[in-house]
Amino acid sequence: MLTRIQQKLLADHRLQEIHAKVESESRLTEEDAMRLYEVRDLNALAFLASIPRERKNGNKAYYILNRHINYSNLCILSCQFCSFAKKKRDAEAYEFTIEEMVGKATSALGMGITEIHMVGGLHPSWKFDHYEALLRALKKIDPRLHLKTFTAIEILHLAWMGKLNVAETLEQLHAAGLDSLTGGGAEIFSQRVRDQICRGKETAEEWLDVHRTWHRMGGRSTCTMLYGHVETIAERVDHLKRLRALQDETRGFTAFIPLPFHAENNKLSHIPEPTGFENLRNLAIARLYLDNFDHIKCYWINHSLKLAQISLSHGVDDLDGTVLEEKIYHMAGAKTPQEQTASELVKAIREAGRIPVQRDSLYNEIARPKDEKPAAAPDETTLSPGHNPATESNLATA
């Protein structure tokens, strides 16, 4: 039974039809998604998106203790939207040695991280065995450390460098320590858009095929959509449709992560960045349309923690993590900090009325407060049995 306020939110006949589908867990069509993109009332979208969000995840909101490492920004491509990639001659070009990366991971391990998230440019000269050695060195620090590394585009580059097919590449990297794939490089699947924003990059089919191959091997990955540049709404919906179709086939995606375009220091700087309204609308529609995804993540680095906090009422159930060091979005003008403490994430989640849950890379719960009252102050956080001491000390600073 809808309240009077909810009835008002759904005054539009088409929204009532969509609401009935959402309540009965019927799949939304592409026409439904297009209709949702016409909605100007964020409260209506928030109300609708909260239905599957709470059906799937209750009142929980997830975060992870992780460390990002962008191993090098040297890249053989020059995607028009990218502010990160450099050539050897550029002053901002860099590459970390394996020893430097081991040092970064080791110091973060002392802060209780459970995951290394590692991506970089398509390096012009590193050989395949360099990446294997890197994975082995990181795994040697602590075999329990989950290595979430490489986009599908990097996998295709490594396959080319190693003269291997995709399956062989993934098998060898997995043997060296790769645990799951990151979701970057998808951009927008439409070839019309790819020709304008990332000419020369692999096609949608090649991106999807890397994830399909990995999922068939039993691997898990995330997926993304870079939006808010030259794409049409129909092309966004087409992108979501292709992700939903692959998820139907493999069930290998853990989460969907929309990435808003950032405009500084790249060849598309004349395009205005998506607004807060656009970002929240996009997250809510993703939650409604991607009915076979368990998790929708609002990556606070590119949305800001303030907007990520609000997104917890717009279909989102995950804020990502501590991150510690990020270069890709910061070279594109991101004003967010480089890291968040666990206590800041917990505080943001609790203020939004959700229950903070520390997760691992596959969304298994590592720790959560016993006291589920959302208004409890972060420094009252107590952990359930089975937590790891590093996490406890991290949360205890909240």
Least distance (Å) from ligand SF4 to the CB of residue 77? Answer: 4
Least distance (Å) from ligand SF4 to the CB of residue 261? Answer: 12
Q: Which of 22, 122, 298, 319 binds ligand SF4 (CB under 6 A)?
A: 122
Q: Which two tokens stand for residue 365?
A: 């719960």
* 161: contact with ligand SF4 by CB under 6 A: no
Site for ligand SF4 in 193-232 (CB under 6 A): 198
Q: For 248-260, what is the HEC assignment?
A: HHHCCEEEEEEEE
Cα dihedral value 21, 27, 31, 32, nearest 10: 40
Q: Which two tokens stand for residue 20?
A: 């009935």
Q: How many helices (H) and strands (E) does the chain have?
A: 16, 10
Least distance (Å) from ligand SF4 to the CB of residue 210? Answer: 14
For residue 63, what are the β-bridge partners?
Answer: 358
Q: Which of 52, 112, 121, 183 binds ligand SF4 (CB under 6 A)?
A: 121
Site string for ligand SF4, 308-327 (x = CB under 6 A): --------------------
Q: Which two tokens stand for residue 328?
A: 């890709």
Site for ligand SF4 in 53-92 (CB under 6 A): 75, 77-79, 82, 84-85
CA distance 33 to 89: 45
Structural contact between residues 294 and 56, judged by C-beta atoms closer than 8 angstroms: yes
Count the neighbouring beta carbons within 10 Å of the beta carbon of residue 258.
27
211 versus 281: smaller Cβ distance to ligand SF4: 211
CA distance 284 to 292: 15
Tell me how many residues contact ligand SF4 (CB under 6 A): 11
Least distance (Å) from ligand SF4 to the CB of residue 201? Answer: 6
Site for ligand SF4 in 14-53 (CB under 6 A): none
CA distance 369 to 286: 28
Least distance (Å) from ligand SF4 to the CB of residue 148? Answer: 17
Count the neighbouring beta carbons within 10 Å of the beta carbon of residue 124.
13
Least distance (Å) from ligand SF4 to the CB of residue 76? Answer: 7
- Interface with ligand SF4 by CB under 6 A: which residues? 75, 77-79, 82, 84-85, 121-122, 153, 198
